[in-house]
C-alpha cells in the first residue's frame, strides 16, 4: 500500500531490526501461502496506528490510555525518537523525521493491508511550514488564498504528494474521497483510452432511439463496468440502458451488482423512468429494500479504505488504474497551555470510547448569524437539514454564537472568532462532533480567537480548526453534510474527510474511531485451540449468530488477526479453522473482527489470548513495587537464555537467564494503564507471554 521509503528500516526504538522472532515468522510464513490479500473498510482498533513521541512523557501517557481504550495491538504503535520540538516543523523535517519513519514501520511490519488511520499522540508539532510548496503555485487564486502552513494530520493524509515533493494537494478539490453533488456519481472519472470508452457509452446513450441502440449502449457500459467493478454507477447506467432495450433480466442483474458494489440511493431508482420498468421483475423489490430513502442532492457516505485509490467522482479504484490513495489522520490531543491539559485530553478520549453504538437522541444544531464565519457555510445548511430530517434526526438553527437552549446536542456547526462555552445551559451527547469555522482555531501560538479544544472540553469527542489563516473558504472546512454522514454511522474521522475537499490546513483533534451511530453486528466469536494433529495445531474461531435488532446489522465477513497481523478474511461460518505449526509455544493474541452488512461497513473486534504448548514455560511479569517515579518488575521464564520486556511494542528492559528484576521510570513508559509484554528466548525460539496491565 505504501511506497517504498529510501530510509533504512528501523525498529520502534530506532535500532536496526533483529531477525523476526520464530513465533511470528512461522505464523506469517505458514499463512501467507494459504490466504491471499483481501480488504474491508471501516474503522476499529486494529486499523489505527498510534504514533508516539518516545521522549515525551505526555505523549507516552496519552498513548497508554488510548491503546487501552481502543484495544490497539502493540504492533500498531510507532515510537519516534527524534521528533522536532515546538508547534511548527519544516516540511523537510516533517517528511524525514516523522512521515517517512512512520510509513517505513508500516511497511516493515506488513500493516498496510489494514492500517486506515494514523493518530498522533501528544508531543508533536501541529503545523508544517510548506512555503517551498506554496511558492511554486501559478494559479493567482491559489497563490492568494493557500497560505504556507499546513496541519500535521493533513500532510499525513496527503502522504503521496508529500513524498513526491508535489504541491498538488493545494488544489480546491484535492481530497477525492470527499463527497460531492449527486450528479458527480455519473461524471467521467477517466482520462485517456478509458475516458474515450466512457464518452462513447455516453454518446450511445444520448443518441439511442431503438431497442437495438439501447442494447449497444448497455453493452458499452457493461464492458467498462466489468473492467472497473468498484465504479458501481457504471452498472446503474448499464441497468437503465438494458431496461430501455427491454432486456429486463440483464437490467436487474446490473442493478443488483451496483447495489452490491455500493449504490445506496433508493429515490433515484424510484424516480428513474428506465428503472421503473423493472417493477414487476423478480428481485427488484429485494434490491429496493437494501437501498436508503435519502435526498439526491449529495452523494452518500462511503467507508474509507487505504488499499485503493479514489477517482475524481469519489469512488474507489485500484491504485494501478489511476486512483489516488490517502490515509486518514488526526491528533489525539494537543497538550499545551492554550490547548488541553493532559487530564483533559485523556477525558475526551474516555468519553468518546463510551459513546460507541449508543445512538444518542440529540439535536444537530447550526448557528445562524451575520458573521462571515457563519454565512460562508449557511447556504449549505439545507442539504444537511434535509438529509437529517429524512432520517428522523432532531435539528435546530439558532440565531446566536452558541445554543441558548438546554438541549443535548449530537452535532454543532459554529462560526465565531470568540465564544465562552464554560457557562452553558446546553450539553453534548456522548460522541458529539462540534466544530467552529474561524481563522485561528488551531493556531496555538497565539491567544487570539477561541481554540478548538474548548469544544472538546465542553463535551465533544472530536473537533477541528485551522492552523493558519484559511480565509472563509468552504473547501477548507467540513460542510454541514458532515453531521448527516456521521448520523449514518461512519466513524468520526471518516465524517471529517468525507466533507472537506481541501483539508490541508485543518487540524483534527479527538478520537478518530468514535461512532455512536454505527449499526455494527452483535454476534459473538469464541476462540479456542484444538488438539494437536501431527505437526499442526488448529485455532478455531467459533461464530455465534445472534438475532439482529434495529440498531445492529448482520455479519457479512469476519477478519482474523494473529499476533497483530491480519491473516485472513472469511465469510461467516460457525467454525473457521486456522492450522498453525505445532512447534509454536507461548501466548497467541487473537482477534476476530465482525464486519457489518451496511454501507458504512461497521466493525466490532473481539480479542482473546490462547496459550499454545506447555503453559508452564510462559514468561511471567510480577510487579514488586510502584512508586511515584519508578516501578520495579520481576521477569521469569523457565529455561530462558534471556527475557525481554516490551511496552507499546518496543523493548524497554531485558534480563539474562531465567529471572531478574528491572526498573522502569515514567520517562520511559509514561503513566496510566501500562501494558507490558514479556518474551522469553530459549535458544532460537521466542516464547511470548500473556500481557500484564499495570497502573502507574
- Domain span including residue 631: 616-695
Q: 60 and 193 share a domain? A: no
pLDDT at 29 over 70: no
Q: Distance (Å, rounded) from C-alpha 414 to C-alpha 411?
A: 10
pLDDT band at 340 (very low <50, low <70, confident <90, very high): very high
Q: Grid coordinates in use for 576?
A: 473457521
Please report the sign of the dihedral spanned by the C-alpha atoms of residue 131, residue 137, residue 142, residue 143. Answer: positive
The pLDDT value recorded for residue 503 is: 98
pLDDT at 192 over 50: yes
Q: 503 and 534 share a domain? A: no
Q: 464 and 431 share a domain? A: yes
Strands of 659-665's sheet, edge to edge?
620-626, 630-636, 659-665
Any domain includes 7:
no
What is the percent of the chain with per-residue pLDDT over 90, rounded to a whole number?
91
The pLDDT value recorded for residue 18 is: 37
The pLDDT value recorded for residue 2 is: 32
Count of alpha carbons within 13 Å of 555, Cβ hemisphere only? 24
Any domain includes 434:
yes
pLDDT at 4 over 50: no
The pLDDT value recorded for residue 112 is: 85
Any domain includes 306:
no
Q: Distance (Å, rounded) from C-alpha 156 to C-alpha 162?
A: 8
The pLDDT value recorded for residue 629 is: 85
The pLDDT value recorded for residue 152 is: 98
Q: 136 and 190 share a domain? A: no
Any domain includes 305:
no
List of E strands, 467-523:
506-510
pLDDT at 103 over 90: yes
Q: 536 and 578 share a domain? A: yes
Any domain includes 686:
yes
Q: Grid coordinates in use for 271?
A: 424516480
pLDDT band at 576 (very low <50, low <70, confident <90, very high): very high
**Number of domains forming the structure of the chain:** 4
Q: 600 and 636 share a domain? A: no
CATH of the domain at 240: 1.25.40
Q: 479 and 334 share a domain? A: yes
Any domain includes 126:
yes
pLDDT band at 141 (very low <50, low <70, confident <90, very high): confident
Which of 488, 510, 532 finishes a domain? 510
Digit-coded pLDDT (tens) for 544-570? 999 988 899 999 999 999 999 999 999
pLDDT band at 628 (very low <50, low <70, confident <90, very high): confident
CATH of the domain at 652: 2.60.40.2470
Q: Distance (Å, rounded) from C-alpha 243 to C-alpha 494?
A: 36
Length of the chain: 696
Q: 336 and 481 share a domain? A: yes
Which of 580, 612, 644 finishes a domain? 612
Q: Which of 138-147, 242-251, 293-302, 490-499 has the lowest mean pLDDT?
A: 138-147
* Interacting residues of 614 by C-beta distance below 8 A, sequence separation 6+: 585
pLDDT at 94 over 50: yes
The pLDDT value recorded for residue 678 is: 97
pLDDT band at 40 (very low <50, low <70, confident <90, very high): low
Q: 238 and 145 share a domain? A: no
pLDDT band at 28 (very low <50, low <70, confident <90, very high): very low
CATH of the domain at 561: 2.60.40.10
Look at residue 326 and give its three-state secondary structure.
Answer: coil
pLDDT at 277 over 70: yes
Q: 607 and 641 share a domain? A: no
* Interacting residues of 370 by C-beta distance below 8 A, sequence separation 6+: none
The stretch 97-116 carries a mean pLDDT of 94
Q: In which element (H, E) is residue 275 found? A: none
Digit-coded pLDDT (tens) for 369-407? 999 999 999 999 999 999 999 999 999 999 999 999 999
Q: Record the pTM.
A: 0.93
The pLDDT value recorded for residue 34 is: 38
Burial class for 548, CB neighbours closer than 10 Å (0-12, 13-18, 19+): middle
* Interacting residues of 653 by C-beta distance below 8 A, sequence separation 6+: 633, 635, 644, 645, 662, 663, 664
Look at residue 582 and give its three-state secondary structure.
Answer: coil
pLDDT at 310 over 90: yes
Which of 480, 510, 540 finishes a domain? 510
- Phi first, then psi: what are they for 582, rounded to 5°? -70, -15
Q: 269 and 330 share a domain? A: no
Round the average pLDDT of the chain to a whole number and report it.
93
Q: 279 and 352 share a domain? A: no
Q: Distance (Å, rounded) from C-alpha 396 to C-alpha 417?
A: 21
**If you write DSSP's letter for every residue of 34-91 in order, what string do you get?**
TS---------GGGEEEEEETT-HHHHHHHHHHHHHHT--GGGEEEES-PPPSSEEEH
pLDDT at 217 over 50: yes
Number of H helices, E strands in the chain: 21, 30
Any domain includes 351:
yes
What is the percent of the chain with per-residue pLDDT over 70, rounded to a whole number?
94
List of E strands, 355-426:
363-367, 394-398, 408-414
The pLDDT value recorded for residue 167 is: 97
The pLDDT value recorded for residue 6 is: 25
Any domain includes 221:
yes
Amino acid at each position: 500500500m505504501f511506497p517504498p521509503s529510501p530510509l533504512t528500516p528501523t525498529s520502534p526504538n530506532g535500532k536496526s531490526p533483529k531477525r523476526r522472532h520464530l513465533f511470528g515468522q512461522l505464523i506469517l510464513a505458514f499463512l501467507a501461502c494459504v490466504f491471499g490479500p483481501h480488504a474491508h473498510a471501516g474503522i476499529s482498533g486494529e486499523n489505527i496506528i498510534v504514533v508516539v513521541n518516545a521522549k515525551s512523557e505526555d505523549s507516552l501517557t496519552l498513548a497508554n490510555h488510548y491503546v487501552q481504550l481502543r484495544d490497539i495491538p502493540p504492533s500498531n504503535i510507532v515510537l519516534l525518537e527524534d521528533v522536532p520540538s515546538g508547534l511548527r516543523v519544516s516540511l523537510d523535517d516533517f517528511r524525514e523525521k516523522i512521515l517517512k519513519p512512520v510509513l517505513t514501520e508500516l511497511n516493515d511490519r506488513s500493516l498496510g493491508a489494514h492500517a486506515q488511520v494514523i493518530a498522533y499522540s501528544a508531543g508533536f508539532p501541529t503545523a508544517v511550514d510548506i512555503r517551498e510548496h506554496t511558492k511554486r503555485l501559478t494559479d493567482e487564486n491559489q497563490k492568494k488564498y493557500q497560505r504556507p502552513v499546513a496541519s500535521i494530520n493533513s500532510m499525513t493524509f496527503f502522504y503521496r504528494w508529500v513524498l513526491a515533493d508535489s504541491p498538488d494537494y493545494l488544489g480546491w478539490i484535492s481530497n477525492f474521497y470527499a463527497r460531492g453533488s449527486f450528479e458527480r456519481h455519473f461524471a467521467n472519472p477517466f482520462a485517456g483510452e478509458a475516458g474515450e470508452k466512457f464518452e462513447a457509452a455516453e454518446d450511445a446513450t444520448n443518441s439511442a432511439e431503438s431497442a437495438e441502440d439501447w442494447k449497444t449502449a448497455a453493452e458499452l457500459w457493461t464492458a467498462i463496468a466489468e473492467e472497473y467493478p468498484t465504479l458501481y454507477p457504471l452498472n446503474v447506467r448499464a441497468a437503465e440502458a438494458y431496461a430501455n432495450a427491454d432486456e429486463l433480466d440483464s437490467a436487474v442483474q446490473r442493478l443488483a451488482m451496483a447495489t452490491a458494489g455500493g449504490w445506496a440511493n433508493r429515490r433515484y431508482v424510484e424516480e428513474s423512468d428506465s428503472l421503473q420498468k423493472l417493477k414487476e421483475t423478480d428481485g427488484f423489490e429485494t434490491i429496493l429494500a437494501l437501498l436508503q430513502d435519502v435526498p439526491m442532492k449529495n452523494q452518500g457516505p462511503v467507508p474509507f479504505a487505504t488499499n485503493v485509490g479514489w477517482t475524481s467522482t469519489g469512488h474507489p479504484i485500484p491504485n494501478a488504474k489511476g486512483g489516488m490513495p490517502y490515509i486518514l489522520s488526526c491528533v489525539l490531543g494537543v497538550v499545551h497551555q492554550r490547548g488541553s491539559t493532559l487530564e483533559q485530553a485523556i477525558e475526551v478520549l474516555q468519553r468518546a470510547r463510551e459513546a460507541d453504538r449508543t445512538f444518542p437522541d440529540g439535536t444537530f444544531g447550526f448557528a445562524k448569524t451575520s458573521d462571515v464565519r457563519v454565512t460562508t457555510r449557511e447556504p449549505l445548511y439545507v442539504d444537511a437539514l434535509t438529509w437529517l430530517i429524512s432520517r428522523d434526526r432532531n435539528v435546530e438553527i439558532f440565531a446566536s454564537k452558541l445554543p441558548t437552549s438546554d438541549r443535548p446536542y449530537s452535532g454543532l456547526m459554529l462560526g465565531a472568532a470568540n465564544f465562552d462555552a464554560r457557562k452553558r445551559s446546553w450539553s453534548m451527547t456522548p460522541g458529539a462532533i462540534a466544530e467552529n469555522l474561524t481563522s485561528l482555531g488551531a493556531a496555538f501560538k497565539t491567544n487570539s480567537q477561541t481554540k478548538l479544544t474548548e469544544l472538546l472540553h465542553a463535551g465533544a469527542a472530536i473537533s477541528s480548526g485551522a492552523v493558519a489563516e484559511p480565509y472563509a473558504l468552504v473547501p477548507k472546512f467540513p460542510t454541514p453534510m458532515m453531521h448527516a454522514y456521521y448520523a449514518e454511522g461512519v466513524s468520526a474521522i471518516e465524517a471529517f474527510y468525507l466533507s472537506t475537499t481541501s483539508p490541508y490546513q485543518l487540524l483534527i483533534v479527538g478520537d478518530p474511531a468514535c461512532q455512536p451511530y454505527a449499526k455494527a453486528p452483535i454476534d459473538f466469536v469464541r476462540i479456542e485451540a484444538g488438539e494437536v494433529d501431527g505437526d499442526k495445531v488448529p485455532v478455531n474461531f467459533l461464530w455465534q449468530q445472534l438475532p439482529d435488532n434495529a440498531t445492529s446489522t448482520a455479519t457479512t465477513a469476519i477478519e482474523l488477526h494473529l499476533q497483530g497481523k491480519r491473516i485472513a478474511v472469511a465469510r461467516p461460518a460457525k467454525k473457521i479453522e486456522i492450522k498453525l505449526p505445532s512447534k509454536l509455544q507461548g501466548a497467541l493474541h487473537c482477534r476476530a473482527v465482525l464486519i457489518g452488512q451496511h454501507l458504512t461497513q461497521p466493525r466490532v473486534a473481539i480479542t482473546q489470548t490462547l496459550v499454545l504448548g506447555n503453559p508452564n514455560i510462559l514468561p511471567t511479569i510480577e510487579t514488586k513495587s510502584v512508586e511515584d517515579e519508578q516501578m520495579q518488575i520481576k521477569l521469569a521464564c523457565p529455561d530462558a537464555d534471556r527475557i525481554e520486556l516490551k511496552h507499546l511494542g518496543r523493548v524497554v528492559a531485558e534480563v539474562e537467564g531465567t529471572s531478574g528484576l528491572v526498573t522502569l521510570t515514567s520517562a520511559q513508559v509514561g503513566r496510566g494503564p501500562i501494558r507490558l509484554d514479556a518474551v522469553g528466548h530459549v535458544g532460537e525460539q521466542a516464547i511470548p507471554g500473556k500481557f500484564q496491565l499495570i497502573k502507574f
